Structure 1
Amino acid sequence: MTRQTEYPVNPQFTERWSPRALSGEALPLDTLMSFFEAARWAPSSSNVQPWRFVYGLAGTPGFDAIFGSLVQFNKDWAQKASALVAVISAKNWPAREGFETKPFGSHSFDTGSAWMSLALQAHHAGWVAHAMGGFDAAVLAQALGVPADYAIEAVVALGKQTDKSVLPQALQEREAPSPRKPMAEIVAEGKFSF
């Protein structure tokens, strides 16, 4: 399926998608670190950089800890990931001289920009980055030792795409780039009118 845009954009946005058919190929650590390096340079309100990433490579206790928090639907395909990454954000402004710690309203927004940077870098390097919301946050927080003043935003499966035949039949039917809502459903001038 070729994705169609209403206005011209760089192909990186339409060519990147989230396959589930992964080969299990080992992910070199330097390559993984380049994904995090891209995320490190994402825009951030007041340069607070609230994002944190905890990863586990396939076959390690870190992978197993993250994998154990996934819902069964995601376990069915993410078992072939080369790495799993917990995307975490600091919910509070850091304490600094003259300022008290207070809630940081855009922590999720900023961390989303870091996740997108990671996803685009992975895509440019020929790897899949598939974000998931289907996990038990309490289980994952305990397994990874995430403090209460941090939010677990998502889990990302990283790997090399392979043929969809490795997936259960129901997932094979969904293994294609998804469309997007029309611009008129997401953009309005001057007033919320959806």
Structure 2
Amino acid sequence: MKKHPKIVSTQYEIHPLLLDRWSARSFSTKPIHIETLNHLFEAASWAASSMNEQPWRFVFGAKDSELFSLLYSTLAGGNQVWAKEAQVLIAVIANTHFPDGSMNLHAWHDVGAASTYLLLQAAELGILGHQMGGFNREIAESLLKIPNNCNIVSIIALGYRDSHELLPEPFKTREITPRTRKPIHAFVFDSLDKLSL
């Protein structure tokens, strides 16, 4: 496990790699090579999916490429402040229909699983990722010419870690603020009488 300020203790022991994944904002200028990226996409491909449909699609742009600039232009202002230093931006896309035209109600869920596999493989290789919902989906889907049977679910920024001191506030403080999670009893129930939604 890599040492960084976001490592936390847990109530129950879990795999160290799960603790090593966090949503960083401070990225170094070290490039991520295509061969390395392919390890991440290979990992994503092994996520479970309904009917083994594998509804995920990834469109990526490396730093200084036309696709990077295009994806960057769709980000919310707060995300643009730090995401400009990422080495790769990835549009995560869900194909929301099966080949027969019926709706795949589990597509976004399955794409989320694939994204998690991608990010865990990234963490194993010392690469940090930050999933963003803060982007203009309508503009992004128009620029990427996404068909009606698909949605852009998120945009992921990837890079190797750099010092949080390089970030402006409030991001500098957020980069070293301890992560928190709800206690298990707040979201796991063994009785309908206790269920809290």
TM-score, normalization by structure 2: 0.92
Secondary structure at the residue paired with 1:33?
Answer: helix
Q: In structure 2, how many angstroms separate the alpha carbons of the residues matched to 1:167 and 1:139? A: 27
CA offsets, 1:117-173, max 9 Å, x none? 000000000101110110000111111111111011100000011001111121111
Q: Which residue of 1 aligns with 2:163?
A: 163
Distance in 1 of aligned mates of 2:89 and 2:132 = 10
Aligned to 2:139, what secondary structure does the other structure show?
helix
Query: Displaced runs of 4+ in structure 1, greater than 6 A?
Result: none
Aligned residues: 189
Identity, in percent, stands at 34
**Residues 8-44 of structure 1, C-alpha deviation per residue, up to 9 Å, x if partnerless?**
2111111211110111321101001110110011111
In 2, the alpha carbon distance for the partners of 1:47 and 1:139 equals 30
Residue equivalent to 2:99: 94
User: Is residue 42 of structure 2 the alignment partner of residue 37 of structure 1?
Assistant: yes
Q: CA RMSD in A?
A: 1.2
For 1:190 and 1:132, how far apart are their aligned partners in 2? Answer: 35
TM-score by length of 1: 0.94
1:67 aligns with 2:57: no
Partners of 1:129 and 1:94 in 2: CA distance: 31
C-alpha separation in 2, matches of 1:188 and 1:4:
23
2:19 is the counterpart of 1:17 = no
Q: Which amino acid aligns with 2:54?
A: Q
Partner of 2:138: 138
Q: Secondary structure at the match of 1:23?
A: coil
Alignment check: 8 A CA contact 1:21 1:77 kept: yes
Is this contact kept in 2: 1:128–1:158, CA < 8 A? yes
Structure 2: runs of 5+ lacking an equivalent = none
Structure 1 unaligned spans of 5+: 96-100
CA contact (8 A) 1:6 1:183 kept: no
Name the CA distance, whole Å, in 2 between partners of 1:63 and 1:171: 22
Alignment correspondent of 1:188 = 189
1:27 aligns with: 32
Number of the residue aligned with 1:149: 149
